[in-house]
Each structure stands twice: as C-alpha cells, then as structure tokens.
C-alpha cells in the first residue's frame, strides 16, 4: 500500500479483501480513506463495519444512525 492507496483500495474491492484492507487502516487518521471504506460497506449492507469507519472518518452521527 506504500503510497498507492487508490490501487490498494481498488484491489481490495476486486478481490473481495476489503476486510483485510480496512483492518490494516484502523489506526490511521485518514478521514478520506475511512469515508471511502464506510461507503463501500454501507453499499454492501455491512452496517456495523460501515459505522466503524464513519466514526474513524470523523462522522459519529452517521455512525450512530447505522447502529440504530
């Protein structure tokens, strides 16, 4: 992933490895990347994972709505 986050994100989508990719970024403070991941999971109806990444992206209200 070293500096190629767009490529890594695309590959994670293509090869159904988003869980591994997103887990590797949990400690990073990259709001944009967490938002992309949250939108991906929300589109797949994986609301718990989406909520986690919305929170990491700095949108706790969106995160809480998904937990309701």
pLDDT digits (tens, 9 = 90+) for 20-53: 999 999 998 899 999 999 999 999 999 999 999 9
Taking all residues of the chain, what is their mean pLDDT, rounded to a whole number? 93
Per-residue pLDDT, 28 = 87
Q: Provide the token pair at 60.
A: 């706790």
Per-residue pLDDT, 40 = 97
Q: Residue 41: name the closest of 58, 27, 54, 29 by CA.
A: 54
Total Cβ atoms within 10 A of residue 55: 18
Which DSSP symbol is given to 45? T
Helix (H) or strand (E) holding 36: helix 31-43
pTM of the model: 0.89
Per-residue pLDDT, 1 = 52
């Amino acid at each position: 992933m070293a500096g190629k986050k767009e490529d890594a994100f695309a590959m994670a989508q293509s090869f159904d490895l988003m869980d591994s990719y997103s887990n590797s970024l949990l400690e990073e403070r990259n709001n944009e990347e967490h938002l992309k991941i949250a939108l991906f999971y929300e589109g797949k109806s994986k609301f718990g994972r989406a909520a986690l990444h919305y929170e990491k992206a700095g949108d706790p209200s969106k995160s809480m709505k998904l937990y309701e």
